[in-house]
Amino acid sequence: MRNEILKMLENNSRIDLHDLAIMLGTDESMVLEEIEKMENEGIICGYPTLINWDKTDTEKVTAFIEVRVTPQRGQGFEKLAERITNYPEVKSIYLMSGAFDFAIFLEGKTLKEVSMFVSTKLSTLEAVAGTATHFVLKKYKDHGMILIDKEPANRMKVTP
């Protein structure tokens, strides 16, 4: 039952508890108890809301940063990753295989703000050997949700 609950919550974290219980063929108290257990165990870490910021008047820049590091003796990547996670600009950080060690996604108000973060905070960390910053120009799909506007069905197509 746990995996079914997780899949349903991942697709819609606002699903009604009653509806969830019906889909699982059980009662609400069992579902609620299982969800609370998974929250306490750290399996369910939160219920974020996905916002398409391009449809608002809020200016926001998203960047993907490749980071090469020199792991610290006896600490590996963990201590550095923990330090980087404490920056509020950092939205996600992943340990990677391949040409770089960390993939970092961060948000800022402007390109300059993001570049200042990289040059004054991230690049100056002792273990950081190099970075490459990529700015997100447009999001088409995020967290499994398609963000592309569909054309209205009644709109005529124009051909050259």
Same domain, 130 and 78: yes
Q: Which residues pair with 108 in a beta bridge?
A: 61
Separation between Cα atoms, residue 18 and residue 1, nearest integer Å: 15
Residue 44 near residue 36, CB atoms below 8 Å: no
pTM for this prediction? 0.78
pLDDT tens readout for residues 47-82: 888 888 888 999 899 999 999 999 888 888 999 999
| 3-state secondary structure (DSSP) of residue 79 | helix
Distance in angstroms (rounded) separating the CA atoms of residues 100 and 82: 17
| DSSP one-letter code for 135 | E
Domain that holds residue 27: 2-40
Structurally, the chain folds into a number of domains equal to 2
Residues 89-131 have pLDDT tens digits of 999 999 999 999 999 999 999 999 999 999 999 999 999 999 9
Length of the chain measured in residues: 160
Question: Is residue 67 included in any domain, yes or no?
Answer: yes
Whether 107 contacts 51, CB under 8 Å: no
